Structure formats: C-alpha cells, structure tokens
C-alpha cells in the first residue's frame, strides 16, 4: 500500500471513531427525546460530567477498564464496540473513493460529497438498527431525511456512484410504496400489524441511496438473515426473549425488521461494487 493511501486510511478510521462516539449519544438520547448536542455527557449513575480524556473513542473505555472514573460503575462494552464498528465501516465506505482521489480521476468535492453522504447513510442505518432493537421504534428524525439526502447525493455525484437521480427517485417510491402495500395486505389478511411505518420510511431511504436496482437484493438479504436470526434465537434464547416480551410462543414473537433492513443495505453498499468488479473481470 502506498504511503498517502495508508495515511488517508488512518485519518478516515479516526474520523469514523468520532462518528461512532456521536452514534452512542444519538442511540442513547434520541429515543428519550433529549438533545444530541447539549448538555455534555454524564455518567448515568453518579451524574458526574465526562471530561474530554474520558471520552476518547475506544481508548478511554480501555484505559478506564470499562468503569466510570468516579463511581466505578461498569460502562457497557457496547460503547467501544459501536465506536470500533463505525470506524471500520467509515473506512470501508470511503475505500472505493480513495484511489480515484489520489489519481485525480474523481474531483475532490465529488469524493468529499460521496464519502460524507455515504458515511452519514451508514451512521443513520446503525442508529436506526440499534434504536429499533432497543425500543421497536424507528425515529422519524433519523428515517425521514434519508430519501431526500439519497436523492441529493444522486443529483450531485450520481454518475460517479452509478446511481442516477431517476434510479434514486424510483428507489424511494418503490421501496416506500412497495412496503406500504405489503403492510396493508398483511393487515387485511391477518388482522394484525406486521411491520411498522418506520420500516416504510427506512426502505424509502434505502431505495433513494442505493437506487431501485438494489431493492430486491436488500429485501432478500434482510428477510433471509432475519429468518436465520429468529431460527437461531428460538433454539438458543426462546425462554428469555419470550419472558422479556411477555409472550408465550415464538409464533407471536414481534421482531423488529429495521435492523435487518439496515444490515442488508450496508452489505449492498459495501459488497455490490466489489461483486460488480469481480464479475466484470471474470467475464
């Protein structure tokens, strides 16, 4: 690997860790209806303010041994995990853009726009997945801007990303409208509500960012992995989940679909370009 590329990669990793740190704040505060910018973070137990050196992504958690500096309460391992995951994902998202930037094939503003919007897309998907898994709700403040941002990105650098604004618009309409139709049909047939309206807005956003061509694969990946998860969970943790949700049978288990839609979308974003390139080489 050339030196400029390595330096860029380290910079993007650190940048991604900052995204991850903010992601923890969003996942904690948005469902509670709190501001994400004010006040500064506090220990939920002793309510002492967390200083800058206790707030460095991953590193602080490790240095503090996973405990609050003041009251020694355990800090969930989810915080450094989310920060590491977002750092790695931020780099994975930026990676395909970097060679074009270094060779001058893609203009710097196009790279900046593409990388930032795609990183925000992954950030919002992760936040939605975690909040949906925690609370069974997809917050509008995270899902509603996605279709607009996806369209904006397609307008700005559509040609470079191979997602035209027409594909983005069709993706938003087919994604949102299609899921709305499925939801309506399911409700009519079973007299039960199967999917939340949050999933409709989420899939509209995914369609806008990835284009209409991504939707079949994203839905298939989300459904298969969701089924796998339910299958595995019904073997391993049926008792616990049933008591948690106050339900007697796995058949009536309510599963949030948002995390699996988010997973499928991230997989498409990261893998479709690699797959297309490999296919082109092979043919």
Whole-number CA gyration radius for the chain: 20
Q: How far apart are CA 204 and CA 110, in angstroms?
A: 24
Q: How far apart are CA 113 and CA 69, in angstroms?
A: 39
Closest distance between Zn ion and the C-beta of residue 30, in Å? 22
Q: Taking the CB of residue 92, how many other CB atoms lie within 10 A of it? A: 18
Q: Which of 13, 25, 55, 70 binds Zn ion (CB under 5 A)?
A: 70
The answer to whether residue 71 forms part of the interface with Zn ion (CB under 5 A) is yes
- What lies within 8 Å, CB to CB, of 204 at 6+ separation is 146, 147, 171, 172, 173, 175, 176, 179
Under 8 Å between Cβ of 146 and 206: yes
The answer to whether residue 76 forms part of the interface with Zn ion (CB under 5 A) is no
Q: Which of 46, 112, 254, 275 binds Zn ion (CB under 5 A)?
A: 46
User: Which CB, 14 or 71, lies closer to Zn ion?
Assistant: 71
User: Which CB, 29 or 273, lies closer to Zn ion?
Assistant: 29
Widest pairwise Cα distance in the chain = 62
User: Which CB, 45 or 252, lies closer to Zn ion?
Assistant: 45
Among 71-79, 101-109, 196-204, 263-271, which window interacts with Zn ion (CB under 5 A)?
71-79
The answer to whether residue 75 forms part of the interface with Zn ion (CB under 5 A) is no
The answer to whether residue 43 forms part of the interface with Zn ion (CB under 5 A) is yes
Among 40-48, 178-186, 194-202, 217-225, which window interacts with Zn ion (CB under 5 A)?
40-48
Torsion of the alpha carbons at 42, 85, 237 and 249, rounded to the nearest 10: 90
User: Which CB, 15 or 61, lies closer to Zn ion?
Assistant: 61
Q: How far apart are CA 269 and CA 158, in angstroms?
A: 14
User: Which CB, 41 or 183, lies closer to Zn ion?
Assistant: 41
Residue 197 CA: distances (Å) to CA of 181, 203, 245: 11, 10, 20
- What lies within 8 Å, CB to CB, of 162 at 6+ separation is 211
Closest distance between Zn ion and the C-beta of residue 45, in Å? 5
User: Which CB, 54 or 167, lies closer to Zn ion?
Assistant: 54
The answer to whether residue 68 forms part of the interface with Zn ion (CB under 5 A) is yes
**For tokens 């998907």, what's the residue?**
125
Closest distance between Zn ion and the C-beta of residue 67, in Å? 8
Number of shown-chain residues binding Zn ion (CB under 5 A) = 7
Residues found near Zn ion in the complex (CB under 5 A): 43, 45-46, 68, 70-71, 73
């Amino acid at each position: 690997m050339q030196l400029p590329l390595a330096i860029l990669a380290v910079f993007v990793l650190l940048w991604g860790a900052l995204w991850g740190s903010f992601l923890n704040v969003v996942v904690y505060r948005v469902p509670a209806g709190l501001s994400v910018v004010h006040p500064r973070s506090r220990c939920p137990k002793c309510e002492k303010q967390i200083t800058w050196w206790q707030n460095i992504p991953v590193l602080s958690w490790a240095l503090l041994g996973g405990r609050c500096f003041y009251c020694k309460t355990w800090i969930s391992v989810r915080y450094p995990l989310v920060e590491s995951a977002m750092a790695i994902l931020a780099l994975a998202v930026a990676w395909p853009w970097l060679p074009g930037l270094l060779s001058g094939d893609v203009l710097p503003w196009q790279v900046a726009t593409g990388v930032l919007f795609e990183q925000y897309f992954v950030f919002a998907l992760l936040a939605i997945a975690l909040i949906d898994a925690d609370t069974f709700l997809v917050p509008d403040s995270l899902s509603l801007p996605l279709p607009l941002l996806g369209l904006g990105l397609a307008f700005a650098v559509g040609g470079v990303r191979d997602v035209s604004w027409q594909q983005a618009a069709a993706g938003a309409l087919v994604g949102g409208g299609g899921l709305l139709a499925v939801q309506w049909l399911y409700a009519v047939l079973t007299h039960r509500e199967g999917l939340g309206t949050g999933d409709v807005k989420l899939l509209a956003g995914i369609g806008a960012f990835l284009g209409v061509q991504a939707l079949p694969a994203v839905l298939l990946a989300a459904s298969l992995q969701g089924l796998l998860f339910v299958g595995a969970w019904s073997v391993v943790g049926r008792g616990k989940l049933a008591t948690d949700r106050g339900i007697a049978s796995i058949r009536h288990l309510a599963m949030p679909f948002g995390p699996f839609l988010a997973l499928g979308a991230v997989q498409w974003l990261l893998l479709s370009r690699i797959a297309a390139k490999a296919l082109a080489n092979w043919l």
